Chain A
């Protein structure tokens, strides 16, 4: 009985999958979506789907959903505390930085209130600054004054810029955090991602926490997780648009993108650009480049795929074309 619903051998499932994902593309919206709080305007719909198949190194708006272990997730206060710890704080955010070109000095005036909010002391800042800047540092009343070693104006400016983005606390790349409530627990949504560091953080439930940056998932958790991330993200986009596409189609796309152990984008820099067939590549994009390269290497096209055979005018090796059956003609 199970065979009754089995897929037919020879079925061109690749084309089927591509069509099933591509066809609803015209019905998708281009609008962006507001994630409560963080990173406004997260692309959804077509732009996001394109982002997924392109495997952009960083999505336009990377966000994470950080779930917490039981001790922290029940209580809003403890969740907030972790959120605050995680949020990246740069020096520029909690202090005013002034340059004194006449005296070739840089003055840092910490914002006392901001410090308190972040649970930091001036000492923390001094320590951090000492590590990054070469030169003498002294505290002058409210402010910290730095006299850099090199006194070229250009290098003073460079130091100031470095100070402004100086990492004081938190996790690199997490620019915004919001604590949200859902399903009887508190969780954190972030703008910006740093999956690796977050998973190591105490109190974070590393089993459930998630980032929408597929490349990062692959890097941290491996190719299988990357495959699942592609499926999850693509499915989410389609669901949000109320477009019904069978999971099998998305799975096949994800499997094709990840089959060689790394995520390859769909397009000339990925799957299509690495095809064996010269003619198929030439017919897709960058025609001349592929023909020239083939001539230099004196490559062969074995005509195993679809486009190649269409080009030479032969039967295509999918569907009924996969069957090699010959009948002996003539009388016995």
Chain B
């Protein structure tokens, strides 16, 4: 991009009345908008010199049309000056800081010299204001100083006498420039008397456009309404003054003018009632337009709307690469990529324009900037008149570079660069392995797609944001794009010791992963799953780790009965089965670091596809009988429940007898609760063995928990054996009626069941009391989730705002926007968390044995 204009800095200052008049294109003199014929009144608030909002009309100042004229300011001459409400505080400070008679700063010459000698320029003002004590005498003219008071929002008192804005203005005007500088006010740009308004700047109509309702009626913007109010009172005040009305009436009107001006600037000023619309809705005036989440700054300036984007529901597609995104044809036909026409691609572009089906050209931008739509009729002509310098906007095609995003965009990998794959259907398709960075699932999630429009943008996206380069998360240096859930289960079925396949199956499994070379069978005439899986690995790949499946205290290494010790030598999986630790972390991270992201992308694409094939071939599901424990097991569970209840009862008895041994630092009651909670959670945990034994290691839930693909043993326990203790605020349930949570219990019952211990399992179903307790716990967690998202969102916003300007410089320092050094070497060692291997090992290139 050729940058021809750069804004170097922006200066803020006050407008002087002269400046306002100079800027103004029109003096507003009529407190009205349109006349009976619906035409703007000259000198009215929508004077045509202020710009145009109606199509077809031309601006009387610059002659521009609706888009080309951005509008011009006007002004209102206020009959009497009025205090600008937002500056009341600044005025107050200045009034207090200066002498009421000679208007010099109330700090002695000596002290000022001291400050000047000791402090930097920026600090003087602060110290000055701090040192202005309640001097009763001016150090220069020795005049006595009266108390200055500000009655919010805009009324000033000196002693007991109210100061009129005219008086305030005179006082401010008399403060000498040199003294203002000391107080941190730059008189060249911001004379304090300009804080009292004599002329009011009127924003262009384009800032406050009126809307035409269906009935043909015009509805004016809130600001216009407010300006009309100001004009009306201004005129009435003028008329009264000219007619020589009594001072009292004039002051009343003056005050009313002040009110309207105040609410014009800020309609949420404390201490005054907000100005309301006819319907009773408070008006949105200037302040409200800028402020807050929906204000100009956050809504329109920090975040901007874009073109060339699309949004639709997402759905999974394991057959496309992690680098790709499936784009519905409909969307591909709408979104375009600009192609610059040069002498070298002129013919190609002409052909492109003449095409009659899918990759069409939607628009052609002529060198003069005119945009022409390519239609069936206009194609011929456009193609013949095409010349170098034109830009052809062609439809999105396979391989195009796009950005893909899911909100909330909590981290940078919420937006990644994908290659387009145009597919039938109406949803975006994405590979399942890229769900974790987006935190996406397919229960109706929608995602956004953006098409970069410049070569630079495309190159940056491709080089820096490509999915395969984000496999390792910079948050913790671990894989975040990885096989999950069924991928892991599939990989386990493929690589467990017993897995072997006949030739036909082996061929299918390999070909699905894009491998067309069949290795020699290693198990008689059959192929072990491990052999097949090994084909995905680089030929010189070496890795060994203890997996989740290990249950031994002392590692038996290769002889592990649970397939718990994974050894990969020269690209061959020799022992151990692949479970979540391998597929979600070890394998992928090692491949990324040693073989690069291309190899890793290929591995993830192929391995997940292979796993899914294996798991879908054999089937993997659950049914009710999977959670039915045989009679023997049920008895054991019952026994555990009975024992636990008995133990709780005995604890309660001990508590009542006061023989319970107090835990250090706890009251007796707290001790009891603590002990009961421990007993009951132990009871539930004791079910683990029963559930595991009776459901067996091949039970889907148990298996998934063991290999870490989904769920935990606790889930299986809750489904098959018992739910266990329900808690609200981390304690047993105790709210509800006096001394009992439900009327079905005795008052003061401290037993297990009366406080939310659920002995039923999900399979058996809960009785009404248990159901109620379970709901109480469930509701708490819902409420917590809602609160948590709000709180953590705000925390993150603050963190980002505080740290966003910190950047690593080429001298390894981390500095903020002002260039101040935050860290001399990033992270103390200058390492990128994404590039180092976890555990602080030094990565020294491919590790090969």
| Residues of A bordering B, CB below 8 Å | 1-2, 4-26, 28-32, 34, 36-38, 40, 46-47, 49-50, 53, 176, 178-180, 244-249, 251-253, 255-256, 259, 266-267, 270-272, 275-280, 282-284, 287-288, 291-292, 294-307, 310-312, 314-315, 317-320, 322
Nearest-CB distance from A75 to chain B (Å)? 17
Q: State whether A14 touches B12 (Cβ < 8 A).
A: no
- Chain B residue, CB-CB nearest to A327: B2
Interface flags, B783-794, vs A, CB<8A=1, else 0: 010011101110
- Chain B residue, CB-CB nearest to A321: B807
Q: State whether A26 touches B804 (Cβ < 8 A).
A: no
Question: With a CB–CB cut-off of 8 A, which chain B residues contact A278?
Answer: 10, 12
Give me 17 A-to-B residue pairs in the complex whose CB atoms sit less than 8 angstroms apart, sorted by A's number.
A5-B842, A6-B832, A9-B812, A11-B832, A19-B411, A21-B799, A24-B475, A25-B793, A50-B795, A246-B474, A255-B814, A259-B820, A278-B10, A292-B86, A296-B90, A298-B13, A306-B805
Determine whether B215 belongs to the interface, using a CB cutoff of 8 Å to chain A. no
A315 to B788, CA, bound (A): 34
Q: State whether A23 touches B796 (Cβ < 8 A).
A: yes
Determine whether B7 belongs to the interface, using a CB cutoff of 8 Å to chain A. yes
Q: State whether A245 touches B476 (Cβ < 8 A).
A: yes
Known: A6-B831, A307-B804. 18 other contacts (CB 8 A): A5-B832, A12-B806, A18-B804, A22-B411, A26-B788, A26-B793, A30-B787, A36-B663, A38-B665, A53-B795, A179-B664, A246-B474, A248-B828, A252-B827, A272-B802, A295-B12, A312-B10, A317-B807
Determine whether B515 belongs to the interface, using a CB cutoff of 8 Å to chain A. no
A257 to B40, CA, bound (A): 56
A133 to B259, CA, bound (A): 56
Determine whether B6 belongs to the interface, using a CB cutoff of 8 Å to chain A. yes
Nearest-CB distance from B819 to chain A (Å)? 8
A283 to B830, CA, bound (A): 32
- Chain A residue, CB-CB nearest to B805: A305
- Chain B residue, CB-CB nearest to A272: B801
Determine whether B266 belongs to the interface, using a CB cutoff of 8 Å to chain A. yes
Known contacts A23-B796, A28-B788; A310/B808 CB under 8 A: no
Q: State whether B804 touches A305 (Cβ < 8 A).
A: yes
With most chain A CB atoms within 10 A of its CB, the pick from B87, B802, B807, B809 is B802
A282 to B291, CA, bound (A): 9
- Chain B residue, CB-CB nearest to A250: B827
- Chain A residue, CB-CB nearest to B1: A315
Q: State whether B297 touches A287 (Cβ < 8 A).
A: yes
The 8 closest A-B pairs by CB, nearest first: A37-B665, A14-B806, A22-B796, A25-B792, A248-B827, A14-B803, A298-B189, A305-B817
Determine whether B188 belongs to the interface, using a CB cutoff of 8 Å to chain A. yes
Nearest-CB distance from B655 to chain A (Å)? 18
Q: State whether B803 touches A37 (Cβ < 8 A).
A: no
- Chain A residue, CB-CB nearest to B94: A296
Q: State whether A279 touches B10 (Cβ < 8 A).
A: yes
Determine whether B14 belongs to the interface, using a CB cutoff of 8 Å to chain A. yes
Q: State whether B802 touches A266 (Cβ < 8 A).
A: yes
Question: With a CB–CB cut-off of 8 A, which chain B residues contact A255?
Answer: 814, 822-823
Known contacts A46-B788, A244-B475; A252/B803 CB under 8 A: yes
A27 to B812, CA, bound (A): 33
Contact among B3, B664, B831 for A7, CB-based, below 8 A: B831
Q: State whether B827 touches A288 (Cβ < 8 A).
A: no
- Chain A residue, CB-CB nearest to B813: A9
Nearest-CB distance from B798 to chain A (Å)? 5
Give the contacts of B158-176 with A (CB-CB under 8 A): none
Question: With a CB–CB cut-off of 8 A, which chain A residues contact B460?
Answer: 320
Q: State whether B827 touches A296 (Cβ < 8 A).
A: no
Known contacts A53-B795, A298-B188, A310-B301; A292/B832 CB under 8 A: no
Q: State whether B474 touches A14 (Cβ < 8 A).
A: no
Nearest-CB distance from B146 to chain A (Å)? 24
A252 to B800, CA, bound (A): 12
With most chain A CB atoms within 10 A of its CB, the pick from B188, B789, B828 is B828
Q: State whether A22 touches B792 (Cβ < 8 A).
A: yes
- Chain A residue, CB-CB nearest to B91: A296
Q: State whether A310 touches B814 (Cβ < 8 A).
A: no
Question: With a CB–CB cut-off of 8 A, which chain A residues contact B784?
Answer: 29-30
Determine whether B826 belongs to the interface, using a CB cutoff of 8 Å to chain A. yes
Contact among A25, A53, A247, A306 for B827, CB-based, below 8 A: A247
Question: With a CB–CB cut-off of 8 A, which chain A residues contact B842?
Answer: 1-2, 5
Nearest-CB distance from A87 to chain B (Å)? 11
Question: With a CB–CB cut-off of 8 A, which chain A residues contact B195?
Answer: 296
Nearest-CB distance from B438 to chain A (Å)? 12
A250 to B241, CA, bound (A): 67
Known contacts A4-B835, A46-B792, A246-B475; A318/B807 CB under 8 A: yes
Known contacts A246-B833, A283-B298; A297/B795 CB under 8 A: no
Q: State whether B3 touches A23 (Cβ < 8 A).
A: no
Nearest-CB distance from B401 to chain A (Å)? 16
Q: State whether B843 touches A5 (Cβ < 8 A).
A: yes
Determine whether B295 belongs to the interface, using a CB cutoff of 8 Å to chain A. yes
Q: State whether B800 touches A15 (Cβ < 8 A).
A: yes
Q: State whether A5 touches B835 (Cβ < 8 A).
A: yes
- Chain A residue, CB-CB nearest to B88: A292
Question: With a CB–CB cut-off of 8 A, which chain A residues contact B832?
Answer: 5-8, 11
Question: With a CB–CB cut-off of 8 A, which chain A residues contact B189?
Answer: 298
With most chain A CB atoms within 10 A of its CB, the pick from B87, B411, B817 is B817
Q: State whether A275 touches B11 (Cβ < 8 A).
A: no
Known contacts A10-B807, A294-B12, A300-B12; A19/B90 CB under 8 A: no
Question: With a CB–CB cut-off of 8 A, which chain B residues contact A14?
Answer: 803-807, 814, 816
Q: State whether B808 touches A18 (Cβ < 8 A).
A: no
Interface flags, B723-754, vs A, CB<8A=1, else 0: 00000001000000000000000000000000
A14 to B805, CA, bound (A): 6
Q: State whether B828 touches A251 (Cβ < 8 A).
A: yes
Question: With a CB–CB cut-off of 8 A, which chain A residues contact B184?
Answer: 296-297
Contact among A31, A49, A295, A306 for B795, CB-based, below 8 A: A49
Nearest-CB distance from A177 to chain B (Å)? 8
Nearest-CB distance from B132 to chain A (Å)? 17
A314 to B808, CA, bound (A): 20
Determine whether B239 belongs to the interface, using a CB cutoff of 8 Å to chain A. no
Q: State whether A252 touches B822 (Cβ < 8 A).
A: yes
Known contacts A248-B826, A298-B13; A13/B807 CB under 8 A: yes
Q: State whether B814 touches A271 (Cβ < 8 A).
A: no
Q: State whether B806 touches A17 (Cβ < 8 A).
A: yes
Q: State whether B666 touches A37 (Cβ < 8 A).
A: yes
Determine whether B477 belongs to the interface, using a CB cutoff of 8 Å to chain A. yes
A10 to B811, CA, bound (A): 10
A9 to B185, CA, bound (A): 40
Determine whether B302 belongs to the interface, using a CB cutoff of 8 Å to chain A. yes
Determine whether B670 belongs to the interface, using a CB cutoff of 8 Å to chain A. yes
Nearest-CB distance from B273 to chain A (Å)? 20
Q: State whether B799 touches A53 (Cβ < 8 A).
A: yes
Q: State whether B845 touches A4 (Cβ < 8 A).
A: yes
Contact among B12, B298, B810, B836 for A5, CB-based, below 8 A: B836
Known contacts A37-B666, A247-B827, A248-B826; A288/B302 CB under 8 A: no
Q: State whether A13 touches B806 (Cβ < 8 A).
A: yes
- Chain A residue, CB-CB nearest to B190: A298
A298 to B12, CA, bound (A): 5
Determine whether B9 belongs to the interface, using a CB cutoff of 8 Å to chain A. yes
